[in-house]
Structure 1
């Protein structure tokens, strides 16, 4: 047949040659992909030209260009042959040759630009080369089959040569450029340099899998986070789209901003999801054609090979398109978490002090963010499921007629009921999250204040109240879970009820092919809708959590009411200062006043002022002391000078901008780090300055007594230090800052008289540090004996300034200062009172040159040598089942077994039915088969309902309450030394993240694992019915699956543990920040804290992101196993000419067998990683010993003590 075979029509297929029409191939295999490539290459070249060069490999680049130029030459040769008219050509033929040449020239451009400016092989070029390579192979075969004359054979030979050159180009273009990249490879993930093929099969994960299998993983072993996922640049993009003024009043305002920010990552998976949809729809057509051929006496060899090839192509396409689709989707989910966590933290640093939303913010960062990630998990399945269901309904209409409306009707009814349920989802979700927020917030407060609780004897009372909150939280969560169970029932109802109803009402004549093909389309119609029904509550829940975050972002932020003169400190960066102080500028002449307050009224609530009619001036380089009785407003006065009071009237004017103010709060703020970290903050270490500060604050004496000196960890909220030590560390931090203004609130509280005198003389007295620096000092204090040393005294009382002036003036007036009876001793040498003995003991240790940064917050010790991190601990399951009750656990397994039977036996029942239909005499009526079929399906639905109630209502209520009670009891009874060595973030994580896993992911993973295991067992029993030879492969399949899950679980389990552990420092840092927000803002550390949060967030993203990726790797591997099974099943069917009924049952079962296999390993992995929460609680309860030892746990009578005394003789005490 000559090249001009178009008389048969464009869509004509030659069945004898088992080949396409040449014009069809040139149009769809050549012109269309080449045109798309040309358009995309122009856009790519423009965007890449603006990027810097990151690769230097000129020889390799010339090699690639040489190969492409050779390919261009061959395309020119082909075009010349077409133009010579040696054989008949059509317009499509000519267009194909021209477009191929232009595309070849575009390849030169893309290869050149992408080589230097892209760290990875060009995705666009490699995708084009791979797809057109497959198309060209088909065209080359067609051309040779059609060639008759010598010119035609020559053209075919040149075309085949160009095909060979294209293979060489593809090989060169896919080669990694790792060794030629100019950046530091240790700071970048191999993902950033992977080709499209490496991304498609996730081979860039191989090294992490091997390392996880051979050894125990630590955070340092993980790949660095992809630069595109770094929180700072993502948050900058988010802020560019955010307008806080438009957020209020728009319920979905934050959702819209997120969509706008992440529009490209959100849309990228769509083409791949459509490709997956196309491959999925090929399955029922494949089943239909195969069953039609099996019903014939013989099957041609070419047709048989075609079916085997089609099976491989369909299932391979599904595997790769799914892997790429979910790879891109997981990146979008990681970006969403990064943006939201950064925004929550950033907004928390701008919150007003006194606002009661810090605990809420912690819940938002942990529980709500996880709910959002969970809600986004099936996002692309929602819209794709609707399209799939519509197409499946159309296919059913073609085969069964109007009866296709039956499943549609079932879907509509279920969807309507789901819509009613969704109306209750938001309220129940908010009630549940509010309960979680109350409990977690109170628990975090209890953990932070455990020392005071134990001293006050209120620990057991508070424990009972927290447990009560837990019970109330579980009750609120049960209401949400009931809605979830009903939604799941509605989701499975179309899948289980539609087939018997459809077959009951059909009037079409049924045969084996029609029954099983229709069943396949019914699966494609109902399965995605089931996923939609179960996904919508999760999606709505996620959107509700985004709404909660939006509500937090809408809360009022701190407004700095202070004004700053504009003619001083011109060298300071205005943007930085505005970010730190928020103060406005006014034009005025300079004078000697540092701070001026006029007609000031200040308070914490609207129209309720703690201080009224305040008029005062703080002179530069002066020492001002603020005194007054308890509750007179001294702390409020300090916060006024910092601009932290939410309600203010009048004016507070600073003569100069003070981006950094040394401030000591009444309750000393401590980072969870070393003493040196707390003193340095984010300042650069200077040995001379550091030594002078610790000597002035008498900390050198304390360092001499501590084993680790200034490297001693202070614990959460400084729990290892005494009150006086914390005050002096806080004072040392303010002194080390060397700021122009220092504001101190009751820094002498907790200090003994000698230490107080020492600190005063060295810091405030004549020749003290602050006088030497000529620093402006405001000291609010109860230590009135130092008033004579001040330059100015402000006495507060009755919500105003009672008197102010120098001490000498006020001592001569009748007023508060005179009533104190203090004599003027400022002229004496007060330094004589300093203990010479204490001074002689002062010493410091050699210090290292380093930049201070409170990054090294310690946590719980992680035992990386523990083999259970890789292999798991099966005893944990027993612990979990005992917490829910053994009877409940048995019911779960029994109901899951019923589900496996009732969902698989109906397929065999259909085979019996179709055999009866094809027999000459019917043994039973249509109603008989439909009735039993419906009974089996309804029974499956009932078993699902009972299993859901058992796991999601009964077990969660029992296990959740029991596990929380045991852990809380262990916490309350723990010795104080435990809290000095354990990070509060680690402990809080047990009561937030781990209990959240137990309430959500763990029961969900257990239910789905049981589902998939028993369903797969049933499917494995059904598939060999078409050919007993398939059962021979089961032992090999079992070994393969065991090897895959063993290889996979050793890595994924460790990644999950690292994921949970990496979140603890993030939460600890957040709690530290909100607790010391006033101090951090005064010191100008907010930008440093935001940067630190970004580092901790990026670090916590590493295991979370890799865990999502390795789960997709598992999906891909299991899909490949299903592809092998499909190919084997098809080969056995066409070679052995199997029974069409059993083959139909096997193929329909195979459609979901892959999902069951994936589900077993994926959900079992989730179960193993989620059970890690139980393991941590179990370990916590087992390893933390109660402080009440034998003989020390007596409970005294209620009237104790009636009399007695306490004697301490030669007592020594320490925390370790």
Structure 2
């Protein structure tokens, strides 16, 4: 029934410290990033053991402390992030600006090369080719270091870099913010549901929005700088005609800003609707047994209406924004060329046209990325407000230092004329004029009618209520067992130990006193049996006794038991009272809430406290006469739970925990269960290797099927054909002898090609938005239907966090990011393919450099090989991130439903923060 294996309470303790390869790398390895090669070249699928431990500066613990210190001074999330990470963000911004400016070397060199080609006697051709090569290599190195810096800061997504610490997303920025969110979770005062954002959304989707916005924030000043420099270079080439194009540019930016306001409002509504959706998801699957017992599956399915209206507004405005700012460079080029030729009457030359086209292409990148960056910042602003709202919640009222020294050295609890309320908003008092003095070693029984304030008195002693009058002193550490059990999804033993060191003798005495040994004999793996989410595999009495055992196993001086025996039958109740409360806890102070008349009249009770309407009607030592049955309140059929609280005063008093009685059973361990830890609840399964074609096929089907993909192919092909056609037409125009005479003809054809390209782009973006909303609705509906129809055995073995993770972060990606990500990848593929085919056509048709076309073959192979080396670890890291994020969400859900438990546990908050953030 009991195993000798050490507990595996994963919430506590940290991994062994190892040296990160970057810390021991040479300067050459630092510059060219070769220190990450062993990880990239692993021949097997990455496991968590393969990932390097984080450097000390990147751990969540250190960054949480830094962020909370800054937040404590400024009370602003934005200012705190700026104070802690602002300097590093500035460094990343400078690197980004240098990278953007290095892109301008290409058009400048192109102009020089075209000039040198026309001048056959020029000897500078190879010089400019060397400059171009050096600039590209320097840019590649700088870009890699900028991305690495952004990853370390936690700016970029986990998909970007495969070789930074444990998981790149858990770095400084996100580590500090998530640590702060957890600290707020375990220290905030109680609030009603809906008063604050849903933590699962804040912890996943909102945090991702902030990560994206961090890099976008730098781009919002880098890209305009790049646009200004490009505009100056265009002025150098086209003169005042460039100002006509700049006018179109300003008009496009104004239109984009207007669209961004629509996106901001839509995203705000999407976030609110997503909170409601997540709350409903957690309520449904948290009580899935009740849903199934009442056959409510179809009813709940009909109640889950995805926030599609708001998502559609957001997606459609995003599509229009992408179209406007993607097409703006085309308007700029058309306007500039028209002004240059029709108004100024200047002829277009090959040097000017292709240099201007290269600049227009560079202008297209920042212009097309600005809407994404604006959207990211807009969404992050909403997410920042939600995080600020969560962090601004009132703290749990701290226990003030006792105003006076207790009358006796044996006093451990002293309340004098105390009045307590829930919250500090001046609400009606729950407890009034409470006076209570408890001595060390006392067994105090609290009783009274239902609603008289018994549980509130326990909360007042624990310091979780706001005291408006009187004085309160608690001298020692506390453990708490609440009416409603708080059970985590782990083994029975881990629930009892709750992070405390395992002592076999002490552990055996506790479980025997709490009547758990017979239950262990009925469990599959004894005390190593997994109890399921919120203890759903246990009966009410078992959960109550496990909670009681947790409080008893702690080393707290004061044990507060809020009706722990209510869900236990009379026989077991009497045994627990005798063996546990009156014997095991005899050396400690016990506050026991009960309605049991036998316990109230027990001669072992040192003090009786009777509450009436929130006041201590009677509080006396050892009643001189038996308690009248009428004064014993009705039994409350509720269940208990467990906790322990940090020392509230530095006068912590050591005392013996156990009676001299010993048990030999603690020395006899059944080794039959040594393997049980690995067989209770397995790790979350994750795919290995390439993403299966069935995954793509399922999303394509939800996206609209192959007909929609065919339409996208047509629109994308038309875009690329018209773009190449416009470039070719400009070449014909500049080489024509009658270009000046036929300006209107050439300009009209060029304008028609550009307008056709814009129509194709508009159709593509709108089709992506419509199909993306459809795919989101279909995927959510299928997942919801599949899960709600799954047998209960699945939920017995699956933590709630795994389900929540699918509906939180994964659905957030499917809702908004995935459709445009697919379209973006397709756009880049077509762009690269068209450029490559055009270059190969030009090279192979030239008799002088025809054989140079063979160089494309090794170049294509190298690119494919590099892509394979990158995709494999990146894909596995993404999967590892999703798998490791699920237990975090499960844990957060458990913490949200057990605030009194974890607040009372001495040192628990520190351990939680070190590991889970």
Match 2:394 to one of 556, 565, 585:
556
d(CA) in 1 for partners of 2:634, 2:198: 47
**Corresponding position: 1:936 with 2:759:** no
Deviations 1:677-706 (A, max 9, x none): 111112222222111101100111111222
Aligned positions of 1:1060-1099 closer than 5 A: 1060-1085=882-907, 1088-1097=908-917
d(CA) in 1 for partners of 2:387, 2:684: 32
**Corresponding position: 1:816 with 2:650:** no
- 2:530 maps to 713
8 Å CA contact 1:788–1:807 kept in 2: the answer is no
SS at match of 1:721: coil
d(CA) in 2 for partners of 1:447, 1:1066: 17
- 1:1052 maps to 874
**Corresponding position: 1:312 with 2:133:** yes
Aligned positions of 1:475-624 closer than 5 A: 475-506=309-340, 507=344, 508-560=346-398, 562-565=399-402, 585-590=403-408, 592-604=410-422, 606-624=426-444
d(CA) in 2 for partners of 1:632, 1:395: 80
**Corresponding position: 1:342 with 2:200:** no
Deviations 1:819-874 (A, max 9, x none): 99xxxxxxxxxxxxxxxxxxx998886299xxxxxx9998763457xxx5212201
- 2:600 maps to 787
Alpha carbons of structure 1 residues 314 and 814: separation in structure 2 relative to 1, 3 Å: closer
8 Å CA contact 1:884–1:955 kept in 2: the answer is yes
Q: Report the CA distance between 1:625 and its aligned residue.
A: 1.7
d(CA) in 2 for partners of 1:667, 1:935: 72
SS at match of 2:420: strand
Q: Report the CA distance between 1:504 and its aligned residue.
A: 0.7
Q: Which has the larger radius of gyration?
A: 1
Match 1:901 to one of 703, 712, 721:
721
Alpha carbons of structure 1 residues 563 and 537: separation in structure 2 relative to 1, 3 Å: closer
Alpha carbons of structure 1 residues 617 and 459: separation in structure 2 relative to 1, 3 Å: farther
Alpha carbons of structure 1 residues 275 and 238: separation in structure 2 relative to 1, 3 Å: same
8 Å CA contact 1:265–1:331 kept in 2: the answer is no
Deviations 1:796-818 (A, max 9, x none): 34444444435745746695239
If each structure's helix is expressed as a fraction of its own residues, which one has the higher value?
1
**Corresponding position: 1:703 with 2:520:** yes
8 Å CA contact 1:703–1:844 kept in 2: the answer is no
Aligned positions of 1:958-1037 closer than 5 A: 958-1028=774-844, 1029=850, 1031-1037=853-859
**Corresponding position: 1:873 with 2:692:** yes
Alpha carbons of structure 1 residues 449 and 783: separation in structure 2 relative to 1, 3 Å: farther
SS at match of 1:597: strand
The count of residues paired between Structure 1 and Structure 2 equals: 840
d(CA) in 1 for partners of 2:429, 2:56: 50
Q: Report the CA distance between 1:1060 and its aligned residue.
A: 1.1
Match 1:256 to one of 41, 55, 79:
79
SS at match of 1:796: strand
d(CA) in 1 for partners of 2:756, 2:853: 28
- 1:892 maps to 712
Match 1:805 to one of 600, 615, 620:
620
8 Å CA contact 2:718–2:757 kept in 1: the answer is yes
Aligned positions of 1:45-56 closer than 5 A: none
8 Å CA contact 1:746–1:780 kept in 2: the answer is yes
**Corresponding position: 1:291 with 2:114:** yes
8 Å CA contact 2:281–2:804 kept in 1: the answer is yes
Alpha carbons of structure 1 residues 813 and 754: separation in structure 2 relative to 1, 3 Å: closer
d(CA) in 1 for partners of 2:69, 2:411: 40
Aligned positions of 1:1071-1150 closer than 5 A: 1071-1085=893-907, 1088-1097=908-917
8 Å CA contact 1:724–1:751 kept in 2: the answer is yes
SS at match of 2:239: helix
Q: Report the CA distance between 1:728 and its aligned residue.
A: 0.7
d(CA) in 2 for partners of 1:359, 1:748: 36
Q: TM-score, normalised by structure 2?
A: 0.86
**Corresponding position: 1:327 with 2:148:** yes
SS at match of 1:617: strand
Q: TM-score, normalised by structure 1?
A: 0.66
8 Å CA contact 1:595–1:617 kept in 2: the answer is yes
8 Å CA contact 2:492–2:528 kept in 1: the answer is yes
Deviations 1:491-546 (A, max 9, x none): 21322211111101112332111111122223333432332233122122223312
d(CA) in 1 for partners of 2:579, 2:680: 33
d(CA) in 1 for partners of 2:373, 2:144: 20
Q: Report the CA distance between 1:1054 and its aligned residue.
A: 1.1
d(CA) in 2 for partners of 1:797, 1:684: 41
Match 2:734 to one of 897, 914, 937:
914
8 Å CA contact 1:488–1:530 kept in 2: the answer is yes
d(CA) in 2 for partners of 1:520, 1:1038: 23
Structure 2 unpaired stretches of 5+? 1-14, 156-170, 636-662, 672-676, 845-849
SS at match of 1:601: strand
Alpha carbons of structure 1 residues 915 and 712: separation in structure 2 relative to 1, 3 Å: same
Match 1:236 to one of 65, 71, 74:
65
Alpha carbons of structure 1 residues 528 and 812: separation in structure 2 relative to 1, 3 Å: closer
Aligned positions of 1:91-490 closer than 5 A: 187-211=18-42, 214-243=43-72, 246-247=74-75, 253-300=76-123, 303-332=124-153, 333=155, 334-356=171-193, 360-465=198-303, 467-468=304-305, 471=306, 473-490=307-324
d(CA) in 2 for partners of 1:185, 1:635: 42
Deviations 1:599-620 (A, max 9, x none): 3333436423333343333343
Q: Report the CA distance between 1:1052 and its aligned residue.
A: 1.8
SS at match of 1:677: helix
Structure 1 unpaired stretches of 5+? 1-183, 248-252, 566-584, 821-839, 849-854, 1098-1216
Deviations 1:356-414 (A, max 9, x none): 36762221111100111122234433322222211221122222111111221112112
d(CA) in 1 for partners of 2:670, 2:478: 26
Aligned positions of 1:746-765 closer than 5 A: 746-765=563-582
8 Å CA contact 2:329–2:364 kept in 1: the answer is yes
d(CA) in 2 for partners of 1:714, 1:744: 22
8 Å CA contact 2:320–2:766 kept in 1: the answer is no
8 Å CA contact 2:559–2:589 kept in 1: the answer is yes
d(CA) in 1 for partners of 2:58, 2:518: 47
SS at match of 2:373: helix
Q: Report the CA distance between 1:474 and its aligned residue.
A: 2.5
SS at match of 2:188: coil
d(CA) in 1 for partners of 2:910, 2:758: 51
Deviations 1:306-338 (A, max 9, x none): 233223212212211211222222222242111
Alpha carbons of structure 1 residues 298 and 350: separation in structure 2 relative to 1, 3 Å: same
Q: Report the CA distance between 1:220 and its aligned residue.
A: 0.6
d(CA) in 2 for partners of 1:364, 1:880: 26
- 1:45 maps to none
d(CA) in 1 for partners of 2:176, 2:132: 42
8 Å CA contact 1:344–1:553 kept in 2: the answer is yes
SS at match of 1:1000: helix
Alpha carbons of structure 1 residues 971 and 795: separation in structure 2 relative to 1, 3 Å: farther
Aligned positions of 1:1151-1170 closer than 5 A: none
